[in-house]
Amino acid sequence: MSNKAVVYINQFFGQIGGEEAADHEPEVRDGVAGAAQAIAPNFDGEVVKTVICGDNYMSSNQDKAVAKILGELEDVDFDIFFAGPAFQAGRYGNACGAIGQAVKEEFDVPVVSSMNIENPGVDMFKKHIYIFPGGHSAAKMRDDAKKMAEFGNKLLNEEGPFLAEEEGFYKRGIRHQYFLPDETPAADRAIDMLLKKLNGKEFKSELPIPEQDLVEIAPAIKDLSQAKIALVTSGGIVPVDNPDKIQSASATRWGKYNIAGEDKLKNRESNEYKTIHAGFDPAAADSDPNRVVPLDALYKYQQEGRIGEIHDYFYSTVGTGTTEGEAARMGREIAEELLDANVQAVILTST
Amino acid sequence: MVKEIERTGITVVQMANLIPVARTVGANRMVPTISIPYPLGDPKTSKEEQWEVRYHRVGVALDALETEIEEQTVFAV
Amino acid sequence: MKGVFILKLEIGNFHVEDIKFGDSTNFKDGILTINKDEALNVVKEDKHITDADIKIVKPGDQVRLVPVKEAIEPRYRMDEGPLFPGVTGNLQQVGDGMTMALKGTSVLVVGQHWGGFQDGLIDMAGEGAKYTYFSQLKNIVLVADTDEEFEKREQQKKNKALRWAGMRLAEYIGRTVSNQDPDEIEEYELGPITKRNSDLSELPGVVLVMQPQSQMEEDGYNDLNYGWDTNHMLPTLMHPNEVLDGAMISGSFMPCSSKWSTYDFQNFKLIKRLYEEHGETVNFLGVIMSNLNVALEQKERSAQFVANIAANLGAEAAIVAEEGYGNPDADYIACLVALEDAGVKTVGVSNEATGRDGASQPLVSLDPKADALVSTGNVSELIKLPPMDTVIGELEALARDGLSGGWEDDEELGSSVKEDGSIVMENNAMFCGDGIAGWSKKTMKEF
């Protein structure tokens, strides 16, 4: 039972043509085709299919192209997906990343690519698939393809762990704990780092500070007295029976609770609302949930005409230990509901 | 969560005690609250004082929603 | 120099080769014998303890312990004072004179049934053993239940009766070496800071900043400093000997892998390591004991005090250690930045919380000035372990009682505790698992 790979290449490396063939619709061929040849000899197994797609077609019709390719791979038995190498070609890099991510999500197989550091596909997709540093141009085809194939072999045949610093792929922003083979305790590492820093020597922080990623500032509300405002919280305020079973930490669920016409949130003693957030003393939130979700204050503003109306529901989850991925997903789902309900603005309270 | 909501174009103001955290998480409009377990109402103070704080800070949050900004901004309470 | 106050601590170590039950409690030739009935009487001095047993577990035993609430090294103070002044007895100065210690062992406190957010798990053998330091020790396990109904079903527990019983037991067992010559003596001495000789003063001055957890505003949950709630203190200068000799006890709040048990304080590796460097590469000035309060202004105030004390001592560098994750990361970064701004070079020691998928931001607050960080583990790391032959405590507690790394019901993973006794949990519940006191052999890497 040898390993099976599917390789994705663009129209040029698929020998269809150059720029004029960039609109080539995706097709799946049996076995090795075109530059998939560069991967095959170093891959410990068989290349069962080669996918060829025009770079323009992929960038202009991404959803369609991806759907078609995924559809054709549905009944294919394969263990790994290679995309590229894409060198410095931006559209090709984008295509490799897009199809690579989709294949990973759909089929749960490892995906390996290669791109030059200048390729915009690197920043866009390094979080989702393994991308190895590659050359500027096809002159590096053999080396880059070999690197991809060899790592693919490791992924399939070995236990791991596969560390970015050892294997060489672009950091994916995925950090896990790792037992040091030489078992150096943290205290020794701290002293070592301290002495180097004191003496002006180079040292390597175990936690390099990542760059920030901000969203575009949403416009100010022109006329608040006409606006619909919603309350959202990560303070874990829920009805006392926690009907949606939101977790007290590492939450993956959120709830929405009807407050239409209410002038405040009633507390735990009245058998209405409480907090389930495990990261702080719950007493104050239980005795008056408005301290966390200020419905009473917002209601007053509505009575005064400062705001147009309060959305019928408030949204709640728990913010401690919750992963960014889950928080982002929950944020998107809540945002969708808010858009559907024509909410213009949100007050988000956290604890 | 704040980034995902703002990404859709809905104007969001984050009320949080740990402003450095809100900033790191990427909130653009921020209003400080008074603590973590009781963001808007210190149980050690009178009901009136709690209401004052809550009403005032929510008011600042509403002001923040109406204010155009160029960069991440903490609104003074 | 008459009346000059110099703390000189000698810790006399007795290596425990084996532990067994017997007719009388004594320590001889490496064997610790415990009279169980007598020991249980000591435990039951507090009427709040309703049921208790003592077990002995050794490395390699197929035993799982959960919910684990505390670990304490049994010791005896030669001046006959309490092991933890202000807590188990009257207030007195510690860090001076001789204290005898039984090494290679700890008293573990385990709940018979009820666990909480702050409690953890220990496997003495197998794949799970590597996740905590205590699997390497021969442990005297107190497993007991109490009448503390008010918190029986609460996720946040003070665990007062159990923890104090553990301390009493540690004192009782420590008395076995009150009158013997130790196998070896560890010496800890630093002269008064401004009176050190020029050899020392010319070396870069370093302080250790400790951030013990102090998150709760109600009494009974936070780490204590000579019996004083760390939530109610401002950062202060302490002698490292005080930490090694019982000034600090662990609290009952912090999610367990981030926790410093009382054993961790008694054996704080970062302190011992700085002592090793003292006089060679650094001038170890002392410990700045800070805290981890919740409100932003309190965090800022503590950072300000820490930087001020360090700068006024003329420290060139500081190591900052954080007993926690989540909102305490804000204190961690705030202290590091305040110190850097005051001209003190910093190295930080903490764990990270990158989520099960490893893709979340490692600390809740970040700053490029924190450019030298040691990472000891991932709070969120998913761990799956097979069943163990014996469970001391109650396995179901991991799923039922809201332990920080356990859950009742997860869409993908189900309950933390499976019918066959195997478990799936987050590293968060491994007892003191991230070894932030300095012994963690784990780091964090990009995968």
| Angle formed by the axes of helices A186-198 and C269-277, nearest 10° | 40
ipTM: 0.96
Query: How far is A31 from A71, CA to CA, in rounded Å?
Result: 18
Residue A34 backbone class (left: φ over 0; alpha: ψ -120 to 50; beta: rest): left
Query: How far is C353 from C324, CA to CA, in rounded Å?
Result: 10
Q: Which residues of A touch B70 (CB under 8 A)?
A: 217
Q: Which residues of A touch B77 (CB under 8 A)?
A: none
Integer angstrom CA distances of residue A48 from A32, A40, A79, C257:
7, 10, 10, 46
Mutation to test the A interface, candidates C282, C347, C444, most A Cβ within 10 Å: C347
- State which H helix or E strand residue A222 sits in: none
pLDDT of res. C138: 98
pLDDT of res. A321: 61
Which of C217, C294, C365 shows the shortest C-beta gap to B24? C365
Q: What does the pLDDT look like over C176-200, one tens digit per residue?
A: 999 999 999 999 999 999 999 999 9
Q: What does the pLDDT look like over A221-254, one tens digit per residue?
A: 999 999 999 999 999 999 999 999 998 877 888 9
Q: What does the pLDDT look like over A186-209, one tens digit per residue?
A: 999 999 999 999 999 999 999 999
Nearest-Cα distance to chain A for B76, in Å, is 16
Question: What band does C406 get if pLDDT is binned at 50, 70 and 90?
Answer: very high
DSSP state of A246: -
Q: What does the pLDDT look like over A268-322, one tens digit per residue?
A: 888 899 998 877 778 899 999 999 999 999 999 999 999 999 999 999 998 876 7
Q: Is C288 exposed, middle or buried (0-12, 13-18, 19+ CB in 10 A)?
A: buried
Contact C356 A323 (CB under 8 A): yes
Contact B66 A220 (CB under 8 A): yes
Q: Among residues A136, A149, A155, which one has the least CA distance to residue A36?
A: A149
Question: What band does C3 get if pLDDT is binned at 50, 70 and 90?
Answer: low
Residue C279 pLDDT exceeds 70:
yes
**Cα A2–Cα A5–Cα A6 angle in degrees, nearest 5:** 155
Global pTM? 0.84
pLDDT of res. A259: 94
Mutation to test the C interface, candidates B18, B31, B38, most C Cβ within 10 Å: B18
Q: What does the pLDDT look like over B25-76, one tens digit per residue?
A: 789 999 999 888 889 999 999 999 999 999 999 999 999 999 999 999 999 9
pLDDT of res. C287: 98
> Any CB–CB contact under 8 A between C333 and chain B?
yes
Nearest-Cα distance to chain A for B10, in Å, is 5
Question: What band does A133 get if pLDDT is binned at 50, 70 and 90?
Answer: very high
Sign of CA dihedral A189, A191, A193, A196: negative
Is there a contact between A278 and A299 (Cβ–Cβ < 8 Å)? no
Smallest CA–CA distance from A177 into chain C, residue: C444
Q: What is the DSSP string of A193-218?
A: HHHHHHTT-----SSPPPPP-PPPPP
Strand partners, C138: C105
Q: Which residues of C touch B24 (CB under 8 A)?
A: 361, 364-366
Nearest-Cα distance to chain B for C390, in Å, is 39
Contact B20 C327 (CB under 8 A): no
Mutation to test the B interface, candidates C293, C296, C325, most B Cβ within 10 Å: C296
CB-defined contacts A:C, below 8 A: 197
Which of B14, B28, B65 shows the shortest C-beta gap to A345? B65
Smallest CA–CA distance from C344 into chain A, residue: A198
Mutation to test the B interface, candidates C156, C297, C365, most B Cβ within 10 Å: C365
Q: What does the pLDDT look like over C123-138, one tens digit per residue?
A: 999 999 999 999 999 9
Percent of chain A with pLDDT over 90: 77
- Tell which B residues from 30 to 69 touch A, by Cβ distance under 8 Å: 33, 36-43, 50-51, 54-55, 57-59, 61-62, 65-69
pLDDT, averaged across chain C = 96
The residue-averaged pLDDT of A122-148 equals 94
> Any CB–CB contact under 8 A between C343 and chain A?
no
Residue C397 pLDDT exceeds 50:
yes
Q: Which residues of A touch B54 (CB under 8 A)?
A: 290-291, 294, 296-297
Q: Among residues A116, A147, A120, which one has the least CA distance to residue A134?
A: A116
Q: What does the pLDDT look like over C294-309, one tens digit per residue?
A: 999 999 999 999 999 9
> Any CB–CB contact under 8 A between C43 and chain A?
no
Lowest mean pLDDT among A20-24, A278-282, C236-240, C435-439: A278-282
Residue A334 backbone class (left: φ over 0; alpha: ψ -120 to 50; beta: rest): alpha
pLDDT of res. A252: 83
Question: What band does A328 get if pLDDT is binned at 50, 70 and 90?
Answer: confident
CB-defined contacts A:B, below 8 A: 171
Contact C327 B25 (CB under 8 A): no
Residue A202 has which token pair?
A: 């180079």
pLDDT of res. C57: 98
Is there a contact between A284 and A274 (Cβ–Cβ < 8 Å)? no
Contact A185 C439 (CB under 8 A): yes
Contact B1 A290 (CB under 8 A): no
Residue C1 pLDDT exceeds 50:
no
Q: Among residues A142, A132, A129, which one has the least CA distance to residue A103?
A: A129
Q: Among residues C436, C180, C170, which one has the least CA distance to residue A185?
A: C436
Lowest mean pLDDT among A132-136, C149-153, C222-226, C320-324: C149-153
Contact B24 C217 (CB under 8 A): no
Contact C294 B19 (CB under 8 A): no
Q: What does the pLDDT look like over C15-74, one tens digit per residue?
A: 999 999 999 999 999 999 999 999 999 999 999 999 999 999 999 999 999 999 999 999
- Tell which B residues from 33 to 72 touch C, by Cβ distance under 8 Å: 34-37
Percent of chain A with pLDDT over 70: 98
pLDDT of res. A1: 63
Q: Which residues of A touch B5 (CB under 8 A)?
A: 232, 331, 334-335, 338, 346, 348
Q: What does the pLDDT look like over C155-172, one tens digit per residue?
A: 899 999 999 999 999 999
Contact B24 C364 (CB under 8 A): yes
Contact B16 A349 (CB under 8 A): yes
Distance of CA B72 to the CA centre of its chain: 12
The residue-averaged pLDDT of C248-267 equals 97
Q: Which residues of B touch A285 (CB under 8 A)?
A: 37-38
Residue C2 pLDDT exceeds 60:
no
The residue-averaged pLDDT of C377-400 equals 97
Residue C10 pLDDT exceeds 90:
yes
Residue C87 has which token pair?
A: 């807590």
SS3 B13: strand
Residue A166 pLDDT exceeds 60:
yes
> Any CB–CB contact under 8 A between C28 and chain A?
no
pLDDT of res. A214: 82
Nearest-Cα distance to chain C for B31, in Å, is 13
pLDDT of res. C288: 98
Nearest-Cα distance to chain B for A251, in Å, is 12
End-to-end CA distance of chain A, in Å? Answer: 54
**Which runs of E-coded beta strand occur in C370-441?**
373-378, 382-385, 390-393, 423-426
Tell me which chains share at least 3 CB pairs under 8 Å with chain A: B, C
Between strands C442-446 and C283-289, the pairing is unpaired
> Any CB–CB contact under 8 A between C390 and chain B?
no
pLDDT of res. C95: 97
Contact A288 B41 (CB under 8 A): yes
Query: How far is C207 from C274, CA to CA, in rounded Å?
Result: 9
Query: Which amino acid is it at C166?
Result: G
